[in-house]
Amino acid sequence: MSAALPLVTVLTPVHDGAAFIVETVRSVLSQDYPRLQYLVLDDGSTDDTLARLEPFGSAIEVRSHANMGESRTVNRGFELAEGELVCVVNADDPLRPGAIARAVEAQRADPEALVFYPDWAEIDARSRVIREIRLPDFDIGAMLGTFIIAIGPGVFITRHALSLVGMRDPALRYTGDLDYWFRVALRGRMVHLREVLATHRRHAAATSSTQQGELMAREVVGLAERCLEDPRLAPRLRHQSRAILARAHFAASFHAGGLRARYLARALALSPAAFAGMALHLARRRLRRLLDG
């Protein structure tokens, strides 16, 4: 890289994240990239999160506020971010070495793209890798074609994307990030970084209740409905509205708890062909996972 390196902002929203926050902050500060703004946004923690951040001193900028939820906290970070690229790193999901440098390299190679998303590893409470998630190349058609979208940790958003798309929707409690990727994909290109550069931690504290799952299911269907109403959506996709809604209901069924059968029945009624396609896609994924061990 040349001397004219862009500033990169990393945002870490945290609420009662003392168990993992130190590991995550170290993973960001140890990146091999010299121009970094690191904002840790404390969302009204009641544990000793802030005490665990004190030893990092001026290497990080800590901003605290009363609890207002993840989406509003991330939005506050977007407002404070000064970088040309912005990455949200959750408090329990450490970043892999080289992630920032790789994203900057990709952005320089493709300055018109809006976001850059990597493959990632699912880890356990002890940071042991459970499995690696290798993603496809996504655009709005591919996203509406499966509704099984694992874009998640380690996404780098350009400042241009922030100006086009704006903030996360705080009305969405569980799908604010997914909604954001749909909104980005409606406006421009998303570039897949085919490397494992981030992590997502599975642990007991992250487990959702049945009530949370049912709300998430409603939100997933709502994403499809909003996309179909967006004037930027290509007519060829708008004409597939019943199939798209069927796929959304099928995907939502996995979060719907006791309402799962209702979502599956709705998917089948909307489009038997899309229902069968989703079932086949899911079966293939499970077979690949079994074959991969």
Task: Write phi, then psi, for 262 (nearest 5 degrees).
Answer: -65, -40
More confident residue, 184 or 290: 184
Average pLDDT over residues 58-66: 97
Q: What is the domain partition of the chain in residue ranges?
A: 8-206, 210-291
Instruction: Read off the pLDDT of each residue in 259-283 and give the average, rounded to a whole number.
Output: 94
Q: What is the spatial distance between Cα 268 and Cα 250, in angstroms, rounded to a whole number?
A: 8
pLDDT at position 274 is: 96
pLDDT, position 210: 56
pLDDT band at 287 (very low <50, low <70, confident <90, very high): confident
Residue 4: pLDDT band (50, 70, 90) is confident
| pLDDT at residue 43, rounded to an integer | 97
Q: Do 252 and 225 form a contact (C-beta atoms < 8 A)? A: no
Who has greater pLDDT, 282 or 60? 60
HEC string for 246-259: HHHHHHHCCCCHHH
CA dihedral over 163, 164, 166, 168, signed as positive or negative: negative
Strand partners, 201: 123
Q: Residue 2 pLDDT > 70, yes or no? A: no
**Taking all residues of the chain, what is their mean pLDDT, rounded to a whole number?**
93
Q: 38 near 87, Cβ under 8 Å?
A: no
pLDDT in tens, 149-186: 989 899 999 999 999 999 999 999 989 999 999 999 99
Q: What is the pLDDT of residues 203-255, one digit of tens each?
A: 766 545 456 788 999 999 999 999 999 999 999 999 999 999 999 999 999 99
User: Is the pLDDT confidence value at 107 over 80?
Assistant: yes
- In the structure, what pLDDT confidence band is assigned to residue 288 with cuts at 50, 70 and 90? confident
Residue 286 per-residue DSSP state: H
Q: What is the pLDDT of residue 207?
A: 47
Contacts of 235 (CB under 8 A, 6+ apart): none
Q: Does domain 8-206 have CATH number 3.90.550.10?
A: yes
Q: pLDDT at position 116, please? A: 98
The pLDDT of residue 11: 98
The helix (H) or strand (E) run that includes residue 72 is helix 70-80
Q: 86 pairs with which residues across the strands?
A: 9, 157
Tokens of 215: 């709300």
